[in-house]
Structure 1
């Protein structure tokens, strides 16, 4: 009988796991995206929903929005808005945004095509992870009970470089 409360290991077979440059780059990229709260690079099409409390101003879940293709309520009705690319804020022009879970649907293009400072943080973090004497995986769990990883972490100086790219922060 299997225990439904056992969570499988993220790396099922550590002996077959490759702690190589490609993996370290992916891990560093994930750390940057977690730190910033959005994908940062490259500029790409994004779509999704926003939970709101209503009001006249919302923030899209991305920075450097280069176009807004669609902004609708949950029923598909177009919303009238003004977008300020400097702050990333969107203002309702029709008395307020709808409130609730998944109240607003969006289709946008966002992200940077060229951000060498972000790329330098990516390379630095990936190289540092490669210098770890034990690699990224430092221990593995038994029966899914626990795991400990020396995950790529960002140093304070790297976090400071990412401040302009954080979601919610003003440029």
Structure 2
């Protein structure tokens, strides 16, 4: 086995061709929001995947604001009987319990918000702040006696607080 097999490529393969422009900063801020929330948040989109479960009668899908569940099956493709509560985002088994194991449940859903101005405001704010800070430089800002430090594309506590209703796992 050669040493080349253990070399992990750089995230930016050619730094001389890299542009830290507005589009890049928007994508970086969007990634920070999605990381903070634990799912894509917006727009409403078709999602499909698998869930690992320990069984039980209640599961949570890996998204909030689920607008439709096209299918929920076991790993063999057998439909599961369920009730979905859009207020809590929880899915209850109507047949005694969900299957147990890795990739035990397969789902196909639509989820996400088409409009979320508060999320978009956080996105724009974080992207603009990133444009004012050279990469890697930590800035400090003081407003009304409070100070906050942040790096180029991290979210400030105030922004994280605005995203609380959109976090995966929390109640609406």
1:75-86 equivalence runs, <5 A: 75-86=76-87
Per-residue CA deviation, residues 99-151 of structure 1 (Å, 9 max, x unaligned), is 0000000000000000000000000000000001x2x367xxxxxxxxxxx55
Per-residue CA deviation, residues 37-66 of structure 1 (Å, 9 max, x unaligned), is 000000010000000000000000000000
Give the Å deviation of 1:156. Answer: 0.2
Per-residue CA deviation, residues 16-37 of structure 1 (Å, 9 max, x unaligned), is 1000000000000000000000
Give the Å deviation of 1:157. Answer: 0.2
Give the Å deviation of 1:13. Answer: 1.4
- The normalised TM-score by structure 1 is 0.89
Contact 2:129–2:152 under 8 Å retained in 1: no
Partner of 1:107: 108
Contact 2:119–2:163 under 8 Å retained in 1: yes
Partner of 2:28: 27
Contact 1:42–1:112 under 8 Å retained in 2: yes
- Matches of 2:9 and 2:109 in 1, distance apart? 35
- The normalised TM-score by structure 2 is 0.89
Give the Å deviation of 1:3. Answer: 3.1
Q: Which has the higher contact order (CA 8 A, sep 6+)?
A: 1
Per-residue CA deviation, residues 63-93 of structure 1 (Å, 9 max, x unaligned), is 0000000000000000000000000000000
Structure 2 unmatched runs, 5+: 138-150
